[in-house]
Structure 1
């Protein structure tokens, strides 16, 4: 299957939260609370503490997915990242947080990079290859907006 630029497509946001770094770390590590904050992730639960967790996502069109996430970066309280897997051995995506201590505030850098696995984005691009760049950028923009909404909701809940 032709890739059309899906693999490696990435987006990131940088947001200052009015919370100390340990409080932000506790929030991003609280996988079971993502459903409260995220526009897409409706459920998360640890399968093995510090190793794997499951998540359920619901998209704007009503489509739902179930994924397993494997922690790939764990440097408390500065970096936390994971790869997302569907039914195949190749990750669909990689998510990562980097935290920078600013005293009473924390600078959060959150990023997403699309993997080589078979995802909804990949299938959508394959169906409309003439619009590949537009479809990819639209999804990346949507993810960036969701990251900002999730971080804002997390900040509000943890105050």
Structure 2
């Protein structure tokens, strides 16, 4: 079945922030913090006794969307290389992940270049269901969601930086669209 390019659809943002890489690492691996920073994720917590990032560790998250749709997901850490990379796969009740999220950090003294990306996986998701429900608008629906994810990444990063309280420069320098 054609999924109109949903599997493998990716969005990436890069921002330069006035925060040291160690501070950014603490923020991006604080899964409970996402509930305070993200426009969609309202809750996050480590599961099964995990208390921090380690490959194979699980955390749960709850998301609420502007249209009122709510989800609960489980996430498995796939990359945890302190203080430079953190990533996870998202599962919604099936064996295949429906998304992969990842951060890559490059420390530059008092600043950090943050690269974050989302890649849609083969599993079932709201994005896939929306695209398949209206094949005539598949590309438009897919691109709208990717754009929304990109904006939300930038808003989440900005909130993390503000919450760190250790900014050496106000604001974010957006490097790419």
| Displacement of 1:82 | 0.2
Aligned positions of 1:9-24 closer than 5 A: 9-24=9-24
Instruction: Measure, in 1, the Cα distance between the counterparts of 2:88 and 2:137.
Output: 29
Instruction: Measure, in 1, the Cα distance between the counterparts of 2:33 and 2:11.
Output: 23
Aligned positions of 1:8-157 closer than 5 A: 8-47=8-47, 48-49=50-51, 50=54, 51-157=57-163
Instruction: Measure, in 2, the Cα distance between the counterparts of 1:89 and 1:129.
Output: 26
Query: SS where residue 95 of structure 1 aligns?
Result: strand
**How many residues are aligned here?**
159
Flag as ranges the 4+ runs of structure 1 deviating above 3 A. none
Instruction: Measure, in 2, the Cα distance between the counterparts of 1:124 and 1:91.
Output: 17
Query: SS where residue 100 of structure 1 aligns?
Result: strand
Instruction: Measure, in 2, the Cα distance between the counterparts of 1:86 and 1:124.
Output: 16
RMSD: 0.7
| Structure 1: stretches of 5+ with no match in the other structure | none
Query: SS where residue 68 of structure 2 aligns?
Result: coil
